[in-house]
Amino acid sequence: MGDKRQKNQLELAFTAEQKGKARTPERKGTESSLARYESESLDESERVMEAVCEPRNLKQALRRVKGNGGSPGIDGMKTEELAGWLIGNWAGVREELLGGRYQPQPVKRVEIEKADGGKRQLGIPTVIDRFVQQAVLQVLQRIWEPTFSESSYGFRPQRSAHQAVAAAQRYVQQGLRWVVDIDLEKFFDRVNHDRLMARLATRISDKRMLMLVRRFLTSGVLEGGLVSPTEQGAPQGGPLSPLLSNIVLDELDQELEKRGHKFARYADDCNIYVGSERAGKRVMASLRRLITCRLRLRINENKSAVAQPHERKFLGFSLTGGAEPRRRIAAKALLRFKNRVRELTRRKRGRKLSDVVQELNLFLTGWRGYFDFCETRSVLKHLDEWIRRRLRAYLWRQWRTFKNRRTELRRRKVSFAEATTLAASQKGPWRLSHTKALQKALPNVFFDSLGLVPLWQPA
């Protein structure tokens, strides 16, 4: 009953009409002139902010923000508190947006581990700013999305990393056996604000919207109790940043299409496919000038190269050699997988095996959902065998004593002689986990009974 009442209150808050002029701000200058805008007199091309404040757009944005969840920003407000806050405060926020006066708060700096072992810095906006960003995103996406390149796959509706990998595979199958693999160094931290705003202004004449986007870019970062200004970059963590990154790199996409290149780009990871090493080096040199001089970005020389596709990885995958290249899991992705499984099945953790399996399943389910796209299926079968061996070693160490180990083996139908020999062995858990006696005591069906998620399944 309470949820229904809150929903009705939100409906009223979002649909309430604000007639007349927007409130004149205290500050003078450009913002003051925008505040005196009468929305009824605006040309349609300048009414982008009105589209942002449409009730249908707002309700969709609220659903997205609540569904995505996430950590609170600097004000501590949680996503579940947003709807209640909007009921009493949306009218004021709407007036500030339409008057060109909305001022985002600084983002909260957090660091997360990257797959390569480094750190990625995220900027977490407040929940209110995330709601406004999401509403803006939905409108700007309708303006830009239809004209983005077909070879751009990152952060776009109905597009995925799998599609990018499949496109790369098609190009190689067509005979383009060299790849120009470009990785942009700290892309999100280096986005040039002036160039981005110039790109936005080519399609948006609503100065209130342009001003709002710039304010999101320059709202600052709170770290260690101090707010630092942001003069470049589009902090990862807000709903709007991925679209802004695509708008910046759309210029690169257009240039590649103009030159007739076959390519696949996912965010700042771009692969261009050519017919020879010589052509690849020529393309790399040309793109280095374009990216450095025109886009004012920087190529990560350590991660970029001209090579054959089977020597490179793209979005966690690589390709086999030969006439019919197939998708395979990249070596670095396999190494990261094994390191994570090793961490979860560390033999000194002291947790029940069933709890370890449950925790492991959360990781395996997500990993399988992505890497099941590979076409070299035997590797999944080998990984399943390796995981079960890790778990056998884990349980063996938990049994600890000679007496307990022999008792557990006998309980699992291992002969007295085998159980005694195995329990008395001085070999380590990993070597013993591969013995026939322990495999008999802990067969595959035992792990099935614990609900262990398999990576490989027979066709």
- pLDDT for 381-405, tens place per residue? 999 999 999 999 999 999 999 999 9
Q: What are the CA-CA distances from residue 177 to residues 261, 278, 315, 450 (Å)?
A: 13, 12, 18, 46
What predicted TM-score, i.e. pTM, was given to this entire model? Answer: 0.85
Q: How many Cα neighbours within 13 Å face the side chain of 424?
A: 6
Residue 449 has what pLDDT? 96
Q: What is the pLDDT of residues 261-276, one digit of tens each?
A: 999 999 999 999 999 9
- Higher confidence at residue 4 or residue 93? 93
Q: What is the pLDDT of residues 208-247, one digit of tens each?
A: 999 999 999 988 877 766 676 676 677 778 899 999 999 9
Q: Report percent pLDDT > 90 for the chain.
A: 74
Model confidence at 416: pLDDT above 60: yes
Model confidence at 186, in pLDDT bands (50, 70, 90)?
Answer: confident
**CA 262, CA 450: separation in Å to the nearest integer?**
47
Distance set, CA 264 to CA 170, 180, 252, 261, 309 (Å): 11, 11, 12, 10, 13
Q: Determine which helix (DSSP H) or strand (DSSP E) holds 179, and give its type and residue range.
A: strand 178-183
Q: What's at 290, amino acid-wise?
A: L
The per-residue pLDDT for range 321-348, each reduced to its tens digit, is 888 999 999 999 999 999 999 999 998 8
CB 157 within 8 A of CB 145: yes
pLDDT tops 60 at residue 48: yes
Give dist(CA 409, CA 422) in Å, integer: 9
Report the alpha-carbon distance of residue 359 to residue 262 in Å, rounded: 42
Lowest mean pLDDT among 90-94, 237-241, 249-253: 237-241
